[in-house]
Amino acid sequence: MSSLTSRRQLLLSSLTPLAAAAPGAPKPNVVVILADDLGYADLGFNGCRDFDTPNIDALARSGVRFENGYVTHPYCSPSRAGILTGRYQQRFGHEANPGFLPDDDTAGTPTDEVFLSTVLKRSGYRTAAIGKWHLGDAPRFLPQQRGFDEFFGFSGGGFNYYGLPNPRQPRHRIVRNGAPVPLDQISYLTDDFSTEAVSFIQRNRANPFFLYLAYNAVHAPNQAPRKYLERTQHIEYGARSVYAAQTAAMDDGVGRVMRALSTNGLRQDTLVFFLSDNGGRRDVADNRPLRGHKGVVYDGGVRVPFLLSWPARLRAGITYPHPVSALDIFPTSMAAAGAAASNGKPLDGVDLLPHLTGSNSYPPHDTLYWRVIGGQGYAVRNGRYKLVKRAAAGRTELFDLAADPNERRDLALQKPEIVAELQRLYGRWNAQLIPPRWKDAHPANVEKEYEEVTDARKRALPPPR
């Protein structure tokens, strides 16, 4: 018996079958907690070496940890569009980060794409978006036009953690349901977003709800209050120390959200997803043992910490080995809620629940795809093999992730037949897509694809674990 086969049998034997929800049973709550630019190894359960994340670690122990959890893009905005639509964002041209463009009614997720919030709201859920939006700034793109009853946060891609607007973008403000929030009501955004999330839970404990808590932590700028910096002052690299403090603030917030669910008797029947929107920044994050970082399609840019906890239905402490996608959040939540999509557009994600309970022993996905810079760069993962087309180098690389998870040994010359097959799969998928609707507003993001080098060559870091 192969090690992979025995591992699958061990996984399936440890899972509890998912009982069908009885007619009229209460709808489970859905909470999606999204980190921003979080490094793969910057959480305790993934081997963080220099600071602690006890609350997110506890969340990991309470449910399923996905060993191969992927997002659909190595940048913030396209990744979020994929999460909330359940569809590859390249299908509707959302392939780059838009700038802050409050008067541009084209730079945002098209309004004929239906968000998870809309589907759940139609099914009787109260809905809230808290934190970073980054899916368009014009009124038609904002959360309350996309199925959210409430919004507290900011619409663009980045923000000062103390709520101070950028002088070059004075209209970009922290808002509550469209109204600017006075500066004296803002303390530290990570704490403020956590407080708002707790308030939403308390106010809606009698109703099914969908909470999309999208922290801007741990995105730049590197800012943190003294109470968090004191926990990480032992880290000698200053920028890393502040980044760790920002992560500690987010971890505290996750703990507050989980306690609010427990205190209000909601924890057992609430689905909680936790993931990052893309890989960590290469200057401060630790993405080991993965190659790459935010902005590239090596696994360090698109494979992220990814958790699902639902105590009423899923056993705790499970590690799931097969590749899953952030696209799966939409159909999994929809199935749990007994909701139905109604716009006729097929979802690219799948309902994970049968795969996690043993009623479906097959991997959720045969193939996963990525495309950046209008196709100048792309990647395809099919089973154990991953094909990477690097825009910078102008070459195509093939990796056997089962034997080489660090993507170090290019097998393209040794296995041309596999290269050809993955190129065929990519071509078939790519033919379904449209060109980007706008150019990336931040040239530095595009340059990351051209400048990528391995951590070992760039900074002579210790070898991966």
Computed over every residue of the chain, the mean pLDDT equals: 90
**What residues in the chain have per-residue pLDDT under 50?**
1-22, 450, 452-465
The predicted pLDDT at position 395 comes to: 86
The predicted pLDDT at position 14 comes to: 35
Q: State the sign of the Cα–Cα–Cα–Cα dihedral 334, 338, 343, 349.
A: positive
CATH topology of domain 28-357: Alkaline Phosphatase, subunit A (3.40.720)
DSSP 8-state class, residue 346: P
The predicted pLDDT at position 8 comes to: 37
DSSP 27-76: PPEEEEEEESS--TT-SGGGT-SSS--HHHHHHHHTSEEETTEE-S-SSH
| Nearest Cα residue to 50 out of 277, 301, 250, 242 | 242
Ramachandran class of 302: left when φ > 0, alpha when ψ lies in -120 to 50, beta otherwise: alpha
Residues 377, 449 contacting (CB under 8 angstroms): yes
The predicted pLDDT at position 459 comes to: 40
Told to judge if 442 belongs to the known catalytic residues of this protein, a careful annotator would answer no
Structure confidence by residue, pLDDT tens digits, 397-455: 999 999 999 999 999 999 999 999 999 999 999 999 999 999 877 666 655 554 543 34
Contacts of 289 by beta carbon, 8 Å cutoff, 6+ apart = 41, 405, 406, 464, 465
Told to judge if 48 belongs to the known catalytic residues of this protein, a careful annotator would answer no
Determine which one of 48, 73, 94, 134 is catalytic.
134
**Integer Cα distance of 377 and 373 in angstroms:** 6
Residues 72, 88 contacting (CB under 8 angstroms): yes
Strand 324-325, strand 318-320: pairing: unpaired
Q: How is the chain split into domains, by residue range?
A: 28-357, 367-434
Determine which one of 76, 172, 293, 442 is catalytic.
76
Please report, for residues 68, 99, 274, 363, the alpha-carbon distance to residue 8 in angstroms, rounded to integers and kept in the order given. 14, 45, 24, 10
Residues 380, 387 contacting (CB under 8 angstroms): yes
**Integer Cα distance of 63 and 352 in angstroms:** 13
Ramachandran class of 55: left when φ > 0, alpha when ψ lies in -120 to 50, beta otherwise: alpha
CATH of domain 367-434: 3.30.1120.10
Q: How many other CB atoms are there within 10 angstroms of residue 409's CB atom?
A: 12
246 membership: H or E segment, kind and range = helix 238-263
